[in-house]
A and B are shown apart, each in its own frame.
Chain A
């Protein structure tokens, strides 16, 4: 019952925004709330089900974004004919190197010798790969640099990118998890922090793939364009029947389409997560989380289960990342900031209620709503507090300029206060044996 009230409160808050600010704004808040909720669900799978601390959410979301671009953009034929072969050879040699390194690690004996061979194989492979990549990326980046200068994508429907983004993120998670799971919890945290920095650095610097900081704009949409709507007869008829202005309503209509798609994904993931949580598998995961040693004594392979749940959670984050880039319609590598993409999601999970999927969703909605609305609130607050001061006093302008940094502080405080006074969150986990 209390949980329903929470959702009603956040729902009416968003409705208030729609009524007093604009429905356009309210709908964009809802869309981002849904995406945040999906990311929070993914993190909740890792943290709430298994107690794994992932500090690299940003990287997995960025991989999803990369997938959205790679799947949907049309290929740049000129660039492909110039450097496509080199890139394919580079990727081929990379795969060959990895296969050789893994095979020699598996087949050989003697710890030192084996390591030496693996390092040697990787080094040689690295140079071979670079010898293909470097000239290829040079020519690719020279093909019409102002407009393209990259290979483009596959030109497929962007909806296909959502599962692909999940696969990419899952693959990266598998790699990190394979090495660091089973060691101290701190190591997993630091390794995920590292991989996410590297992924974002790659997005920013591999111009032949992502155009780097020049951004890829104009990703094809899965929903109609406003301008096409405004020109179609059925839409104009709909507008006259609803007595609204076609221009405003077209943008609301587009956002509603997105909200429908995103809501569908959210429901599917929520359904699967709830099913999983209530299944024997979910009980096993919680048993492992609550007592690893006794679960191991029962014959459970803790490390393998951790790896499984870590990959699953990252897949969900990757899907959400692809959805976010779809909504933005562009890939902007410099927008991936750890505070926004990693730590904000953590606040959502902790505040919502770790281990409870509904809690993660509520957390996603509440925290995103306040994150977005706290900036105008902060500026208003500073403006009011300093209204007695001289209007051009340095302190006043500094305080008003700094209002946006207040929200970092506020989010940190919310996290610390929740952790201290209500560690189980707004919607606590059910049947917790604590």
Chain B
């Protein structure tokens, strides 16, 4: 019984949140890794692209809510998300047309792309703050919980409850659907195969008649869709604030690098590695230990490895460890 209570406690505070957070990071890292695989640079604007897509989704959500359109128990944002994706894709394609295409035609050094993406990040950040403001926005509606802690307790008779927020459930399932669709696209369709070919060997792909502009455009659309979905899910689960999305850049990059830049499977694994490490290392284990050991053995402190203020340090240390030991990531970053 005590063991089950400890497990319930861990599930409630570690397993469930880490699954949701990991899904969000995985989707974000997939976008970064796709852009890296095809365009060969780390896109610093990705965090703000997420914020842009989420912002459009929020605006549509508010519009739908004001017209009285609801999805019942599900959040209205799911209905608004396709519009967010469309606008975000249009925006990202416009930045490609205006900024990156020029450097592609000149075959510039990757570091020039990096700086250009910093410029795009600045502009996007400014646009988002200009339109929706720098403050927190809450746009979640519908049911809040799938299982409430109290219901779980009544159901199982344990003294610790496990609650699953609806947003966490939606996040996890959306991630699975999106990832399956993405892998189906990359492995089965002609466009997806041409993307992988382009990523593997650009010159050979061009030689065999693959249209590079088309490949690049598809990549940007996919990246925008992934960014919008990841951003909206994160916003539903926590809340939307432009600066937080900028800060997500570090765990997302860490996830992509840990998994191997350019490798989609690696990005997903990396997302979960980062999320689980971050939450497990910053969780205070005192109450879990209290269930497992006799009363007078319980330590006085919180038994927290690292305060949550340092959660970025976790991504960073994992990143450095991977770079020291396996610079190409857990899965070799060989391209899409």
Hey, which bits of chain A sit against chain B, CB under 8 A? 51, 53, 55, 111, 115, 134, 179-180, 183-187, 189-191, 193-195, 197-198, 201-202, 204-205, 338-339, 343, 346, 350, 401-402, 405-413, 415-416, 419-420, 423
Contacts and interface: CB of A to CB of B under 8 A. Distances in A.
Interface in B222-272: 246-247, 249-250, 253-254, 257, 261
A350 B313 contact: no
Contact of B126 (A53, A405, A420, A423): A405
B307 interface: yes
A190 B44 CA distance: 9
Given A409-B127, A419-B112, 14 more contacts: A55-B118, A183-B327, A189-B114, A190-B253, A191-B323, A194-B254, A201-B312, A338-B246, A350-B115, A402-B129, A405-B126, A406-B130, A407-B126, A423-B112
Given A190-B250, A190-B254, A198-B312, A412 B111 contact: no
B69 interface: no
A134 B301 CA distance: 9
B257 A416 contact: no
B245 to A, nearest CB: 13
B122 A186 contact: no
B123 A416 contact: yes
Contact of A198 (B44, B134, B313): B313
Tier of interface size on chain B: 35 or more
A416 B120 contact: yes
Nearest to A398: B133
B309 A409 contact: no
Nearest to B325: A115
B186 interface: no
A55 B110 CA distance: 15
Contacts of A197: 247, 250, 312, 316
A195 B323 contact: no
Contacts of A51: 111
Given A412-B122, A412-B123, A205 B307 contact: yes
Interface string B130-168: 110110000000000000000000000000000000000
Chain A interface, DSSP helix/strand/loop, else mixed: helix
Given A186-B261, A190-B319, A406 B118 contact: no
11 contacts: A190-B257, A191-B319, A194-B316, A198-B312, A204-B309, A402-B131, A407-B126, A409-B122, A412-B122, A413-B119, A416-B120
A201 B250 CA distance: 14
A193 B257 CA distance: 14
A409 B127 CA distance: 7
Interface of B: 36, 41-42, 44, 99, 102, 110-112, 114-116, 118-127, 129-131, 133-134, 246-247, 249-250, 253-254, 257, 261, 301, 307, 309-310, 312-313, 315-316, 319-320, 323-325, 327
Contact of A190 (B42, B110, B129, B301): B42
B279 to A, nearest CB: 17
B134 to A, nearest CB: 7
Contacts of A419: 112, 115-116, 119
Contact of A187 (B112, B131, B313, B323): B323
Contacts of A193: 249-250, 253
Contact of B134 (A185, A187, A201, A405): A405
A191 B130 contact: no
Contacts of B123: 408-409, 412-413, 416
Contacts of B307: 205
Contacts of B129: 402, 405, 408
A346 B249 CA distance: 18
A134 B312 CA distance: 20
**Chain A to chain B: the 3 pairs with minimum beta-carbon distance, closest first:** A412-B122, A409-B126, A408-B126
A195 B114 CA distance: 18
A115 B325 CA distance: 8
B115 A53 contact: yes
B315 A194 contact: yes
Nearest to A198: B313
A201 B313 contact: yes
B309 A198 contact: no
A410 B126 CA distance: 8
Contacts of B253: 190, 193
Interface centre among A134, A190, A198, A202 (most CB of B within 10 A): A190
Contacts of B254: 190, 194
A115 B124 CA distance: 42
Given A402-B129, A408-B122, A187 B257 contact: yes
Contacts of B114: 53, 185-186, 189
Contacts of B327: 183, 187
Nearest to B312: A197
A405 B116 CA distance: 20
B313 A186 contact: no
Contact of B118 (A111, A185, A346, A405): A346
Nearest to B309: A205
Contact of A416 (B116, B125, B312, B324): B116
B187 to A, nearest CB: 26
B291 to A, nearest CB: 22
A311 B315 CA distance: 23
A402 B128 CA distance: 10
Contact of A339 (B36, B122, B249, B257): B122
B118 A343 contact: yes
B316 to A, nearest CB: 4
B119 A415 contact: yes
A201 B247 CA distance: 12
A264 to B, nearest CB: 32
A415 B325 contact: no
A405 B123 CA distance: 10
Given A406-B126, A411-B122, A416-B120, A191 B134 contact: no
Contacts of A202: 310
A419 to B, nearest CB: 6
B41 to A, nearest CB: 7
B139 to A, nearest CB: 18
Nearest to A105: B324
A405 B129 CA distance: 6
A409 B319 CA distance: 31
B38 to A, nearest CB: 15
B116 to A, nearest CB: 6
Contacts of B125: 339, 408, 412
A230 B121 CA distance: 48
Contacts of A416: 99, 116, 119-120, 123
A198 B118 contact: no
B119 A194 contact: no
B316 A198 contact: yes
